[in-house]
């Protein structure tokens, strides 16, 4: 079963658009998003809820993702899509009826918003595109992602043994060292990686006192319990909300421009009951229902990592054509086509303690190339035969069946 606390940190750690505003004056006020830009932010939320519901139904343990990171990585990829592939991505990503320019401009505005919102909260957002040396890119595709996503674009020798280390190092640097290894290897069919990295570190507006942090029982769904360090505090200004299914508290960071919403199922309900209710309409209703209340709060102090391929989930959500070798259309990346999304990887980090919260996520879209014509791919990854011969008379010197090659 899912962890009660960890699963629902998605509600505010990654989207941040329904936070309590501070009454303190700001030196540099951030402009209000336009109606179109708010539509894209809302689309990111809706896509995130659906993605979260899908992965939660497949994972029994902790789930922690960044919908915003997915939105940026797939948003860059969308700029290279065409035809029915583009329509499938647009539907899956819940883009409203907007032009490509409006969609791209909205992503640029979101970058400006999140990176300038609160100078006391560390928020970093970076995008990059790495492509195989010798593989050509369409100028418009590169220009769009540089202009609207601030993407770094670089050629890389994918055959080099250190190629994956270079990409992983970029991910590590952009997440303040929290995401160290996303890519395990660069398969021979890979020609491009589109990557988003997000890093967040916020200090509670009202910190937990460490002297009240004590070991307590944490109960699992099967009724068994284990010991966990729990932070505790009392406050007369908690933002609190409860209904038939759950009770919730909203914890602000710094000036209040960012917050964490924690939702705890009531007796007789579990996380699945609440996850099924996740949508933009309910989310807006819940967030608007918080009121100041005096109360006592205990919650776990912990650290976790999460990593998963989302190829199966995004296919189920309507993007299967984008993953189809020989069918997908990404001709706006390279007009010769023959490209497809070979995988979408996501890795995240979360730490909650008395001081605040640190979170990071990286989303990697791997683009593969379909070989055609005289080209071929051969991956000797199963039992095979081999022949050693002399070539003048084709006399066989050695003949072998290799079923299980030794590792050394």
Domains, the chain, ordered by start:
4-203+302-369 (3.30.497.10)
Q: What is the SS3 assignment for 47?
A: helix
- Per-residue confidence (pLDDT) for residue 7, from 0 to 100: 42
No. of helices (H) and no. of strands (E), the chain = 11, 13
pLDDT of residue 21: 41
- pLDDT recorded at residue 396: 62
- CA 267/CA 15 separation, integer angstroms: 29
* Model pTM score: 0.87
- ∠105-148-358 over CA atoms, to 5°? 100
pLDDT in tens, the chain (408 residues): 444 334 434 434 343 333 444 434 444 566 788 999 999 999 999 999 999 999 999 988 899 999 999 999 999 999 999 999 999 999 999 999 999 999 999 999 999 988 888 889 999 999 999 999 999 999 999 999 999 999 999 999 999 999 999 999 999 999 999 999 999 999 989 999 999 999 999 999 999 999 999 999 998 888 888 898 999 999 889 999 999 999 999 999 998 889 989 999 998 888 888 899 999 999 999 999 999 999 999 999 989 999 999 999 999 999 999 999 989 999 999 998 889 999 999 999 999 999 999 999 999 999 999 865 555 666 676 787 777 676 777 766 667 777 777 765
Q: What's the CA dihedral at 221, 224, 226, 231 to 10 degrees? A: 50
Can you say how many angstroms the Cα of residue 323 is from the centroid of all Cα atoms in its chain?
Answer: 18
Say what the pLDDT of residue 222 is.
Answer: 83
Q: What is the predicted pLDDT for the residue at 373?
A: 53
Quote the pLDDT of residue 240: 93
Question: Do the beta carbons of residue 200 and residue 68 sit within 8 Å?
Answer: no
């Amino acid at each position: 079963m899912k962890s009660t606390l960890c699963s629902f940190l998605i509600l505010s750690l990654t989207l941040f658009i329904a936070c309590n505003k501070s009454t303190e004056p700001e030196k540099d006020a951030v402009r209000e998003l336009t109606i179109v830009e708010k539509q894209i932010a809302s689309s990111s939320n809706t896509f995130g809820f659906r993605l979260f519901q899908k992965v939660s139904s497949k994972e029994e343990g902790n789930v922690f993702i960044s919908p915003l990171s997915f939105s940026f990585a797939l948003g860059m990829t969308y700029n290279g899509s065409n035809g029915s592939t583009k329509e499938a991505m647009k539907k899956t990503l819940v883009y409203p009826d907007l032009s490509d320019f409006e969609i791209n401009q909205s992503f640029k505005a979101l970058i400006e918003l999140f990176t300038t919102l609160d100078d006391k909260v560390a928020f970093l957002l970076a995008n990059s595109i790495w492509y195989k040396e010798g593989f050509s890119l369409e100028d418009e595709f590169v220009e769009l992602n540089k202009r609207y996503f601030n993407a770094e674009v670089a050629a890389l020798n994918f055959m080099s043994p250190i190629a994956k280390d270079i990409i992983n190092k970029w991910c590590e640097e952009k997440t303040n060292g929290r995401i160290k290894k996303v890519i395990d290897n660069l398969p021979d069919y890979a020609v491009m990686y589109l990557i988003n990295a997000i890093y967040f570190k916020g200090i509670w507006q009202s910190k937990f006192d460490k002297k009240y942090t004590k070991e307590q029982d944490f109960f699992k769904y099967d009724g068994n319990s284990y010991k966990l360090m729990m932070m505790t505090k009392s406050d007369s200004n908690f933002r609190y909300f409860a209904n038939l299914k759950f009770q919730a508290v909203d914890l602000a960071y710094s000036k209040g421009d960012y917050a964490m919403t924690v939702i705890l199922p009531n007796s007789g309900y579990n996380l699945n009951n609440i996850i099924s209710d996740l949508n933009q309409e309910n989310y807006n209703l819940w967030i608007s229902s918080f009121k100041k209340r005096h109360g006592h709060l205990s919650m776990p102090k912990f650290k976790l990592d999460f990593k998963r391929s989302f190829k199966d989930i995004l296919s189920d959500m309507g993007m299967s054509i984008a993953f189809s070798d020989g069918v997908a259309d990404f001709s706006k990346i390279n007009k010769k086509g023959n490209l497809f999304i070979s995988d979408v990887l996501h890795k995240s980090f979360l730490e909650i303690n008395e001081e605040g919260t640190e979170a990071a996520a990286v989303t990697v879209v791997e683009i593969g190339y379909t070989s055609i014509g005289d080209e071929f791919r051969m991956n000797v990854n199963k039992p095979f035969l081999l022949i050693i011969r002399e070539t003048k008379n084709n006399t066989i010197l050695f003949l072998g069946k290799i079923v299980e090659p030794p590792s050394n």
